[in-house]
Amino acid sequence: MHTRDLEPKIIWNHFEDINAVPRPSKREERIIQFMIDFGSKLGLETLRDAIGNVIIKKPATKGFENKKTVILQSHIDMVHQKNTATVFDFDEEGIRSFIDGEWVTADGTTLGADNGMGVAAAMSLLSATDIQHPALEALFTIDEETGMTGAKQLDGSKLSGEILLNLDTEDDDEFSVGCAGGIDTNTSYAYQEEDVPSTYAAFTIDIKGLKGGHSGMDIHLGRGNSNLWMNRIVYHLSSSTDARICDLEGGSLRNAIPRESFGSYVCPSNEMDGVRKAFDEIKAVILHEFSINEPAASIDFELVNENPAKMISSNDQKKAIAAIYTTPNGVWTMSEKIEGLVETSSSLAKVVFRDGEFKTKSLQRSMIESGKDDIANALKLTYELIGADVMQGGDYPGWAPNPDSAILKILKAKYVQLFNDSPKIAACHAGLECGILSKHLPNCDMISFGPTIRNPHSPDEKVNIKSVQKFWSFLVEVLADIPAKN
- 434 and 446 in contact (C-beta within 8 Å)? yes
Q: What is the DSSP string of 20-71?
A: TS--BTT--HHHHHHHHHHHHHTT-EEEE-TTS-EEEEEPPPTT-TTBPPEE
Catalytic hit among 28, 49, 144, 171: 144
Where do the H-state alpha helices sit in 219-271? 226-240
DSSP string, 101-143: TTEEEESSB---HHHHHHHHHHHHHHH-SS---S-EEEEEES-
183 within 8 A of 392, measured Cβ to Cβ: yes
Contact of 280 with 375, CB cutoff 8 Å: no
- H helix runs in 326-452, sequence order: 369-384, 406-419, 434-440
Q: Are 135 and 58 in contact (CB under 8 A)?
A: yes
171 is annotated as an active-site residue: no
Residue 77 to residue 164: CA distance in whole angstroms: 19
Separation of CA 62 from chain center: 40
The three-state secondary structure class of 429 is: coil
Q: What is the spatial distance between Cα 345 and Cα 329, in angstroms, rounded to a whole number?
A: 7
Residue 75 contacts residue 434 (beta carbons within 8 Å)? no
Beta bridge partners of 250: 261, 351
> What's the CA gap between 200 and 245, in Å, rounded?
12
Are the CB atoms for 168 and 448 separated by under 8 Å?
Answer: yes
Task: Give yes or no for a contact between 122 and 140, defined as CB atoms under 8 angstroms apart.
Answer: yes
* Contact status, residue 97 vs residue 31, Cβ threshold 8 Å: no
C-beta of residue 6 within 8 angstroms of C-beta of residue 465: yes
Report whether 26 contacts 51 (CB < 8 A).
Answer: no
Cross-strand bridge partners of residue 359 = 188, 352
Active-site choice (16, 28, 77, 294)? 77
* 271 in catalytic set: no
Catalytic residues: 77, 144
